[in-house]
């Protein structure tokens, strides 16, 4: 084994060591700074992504809330419109029904009796083609009058007055025993065309 070569240093060894140490420190500091910059960039990117997601989530929640509010408002407005329409129709029906109730007093008992008698004759002429007898269901207001008319009328069909009343302002309903034929002679049905005009007039008078 040959002799170990000697390393010769030029200058002050302490100065050389100090300079080398400073260079290493600079390199380390540079690496640390680069690592910190990279970390900051990563954190910024993550923060921006998180903020973007948060903003997106908030926007979605706000849109959903707004849609729910709009939907609820639409439902409430629809309910109010339906309630208003029902109230108007109720008042119109009341006005027209009141007019029908006053019909008898306006035309007089004699004319009203003749009107019901004529309706009974029409019913008999229609029913005689399929049946020889039928049941008359009176409205409560006209039961007494119809009882007299049915008992004393000379008609081609035998009419029997039912024991129960039917709903209606006035008039009656006639039905064959087998239920195959049913004729509505209540005032609301007989005067239906006139009543539609009356309802339009009542709506205009009540609500403009």
pLDDT for 64-114, tens place per residue? Answer: 767 777 887 778 777 777 777 777 777 777 777 777 777 777 778 888 899
Q: How far apart are CA 190 and CA 173, in angstroms?
A: 11
Domain limits, the chain: 13-101, 107-207
C-alpha distance from residue 5 to each of 8, 12, 14, 16, 17 (Å): 9, 20, 22, 20, 21
pLDDT for position 165: 95
CATH for the stretch 107-207: 3.30.2320.30
- Checking if the pLDDT of 60 tops 70, the result is yes
Residue 138 confidence class, pLDDT cut points 50, 70, 90: very high
Q: What is the mean pLDDT of residues 27-45?
A: 70
Mean of pLDDT over the chain: 78
- Checking if the pLDDT of 173 tops 90, the result is yes
C-alpha distance from residue 138 to each of 28, 63, 71, 168, 175 (Å): 111, 61, 49, 9, 11
Of residues 190 and 3, the one with the higher pLDDT is: 190
pLDDT for position 206: 63
Lowest-pLDDT range, 14-18, 110-114, 152-156, 172-176? 14-18
Query: What three-state secondary structure class fits 158?
Result: strand
**Cβ atoms 141, 169 nearer than 8 A:** yes
pLDDT for position 35: 67
Residue 139 confidence class, pLDDT cut points 50, 70, 90: very high
Q: What is the mean pLDDT of residues 194-204?
A: 68
Of residues 62 and 146, the one with the higher pLDDT is: 146
- Checking if the pLDDT of 54 tops 70, the result is no
Task: Calculate what percentage of the chain has a pLDDT beyond 70.
Answer: 71
Instruction: Starting at the earlier edge strand, list the strands of the sheet with 158-161.
Output: 158-161, 133-138, 172-175, 182-184
- Which DSSP letter does residue 175 get? E
Q: How far apart are CA 154 and CA 110, in angstroms?
A: 19
């Amino acid at each position: 084994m040959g002799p170990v070569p000697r390393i010769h240093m030029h200058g002050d060894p302490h100065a050389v060591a100090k300079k080398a140490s400073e260079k290493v420190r600079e390199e380390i500091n540079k690496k640390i700074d680069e690592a910190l910059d990279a970390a900051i960039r990563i954190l910024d990117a993550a923060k921006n992504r998180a903020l973007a997601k948060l903003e997106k989530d908030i926007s979605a929640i706000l849109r959903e809330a707004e849609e729910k509010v709009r939907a609820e408002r639409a439902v409430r407005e629809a309910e109010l419109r339906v309630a208003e329409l029902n109230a108007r129709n109720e008042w119109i029906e009341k006005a027209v029904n009141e007019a029908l109730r006053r019909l008898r007093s306006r035309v007089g008992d004699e004319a009203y009796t003749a009107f019901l008698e004529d309706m009974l004759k029409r019913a008999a002429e229609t029913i005689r083609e399929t049946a020889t007898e039928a049941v008359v269901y009176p409205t409560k207001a006209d039961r007494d009058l119809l009882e007299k008319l049915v008992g004393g009328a000379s008609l081609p069909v035998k009419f029997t007055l039912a024991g129960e009343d039917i709903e209606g302002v006035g008039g009656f309903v006639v039905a064959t025993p087998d239920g195959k034929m049913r004729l509505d002679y209540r005032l609301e049905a007989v005067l239906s065309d006139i009543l539609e005009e009356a309802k339009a007039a009542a709506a205009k008078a009540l609500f403009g």
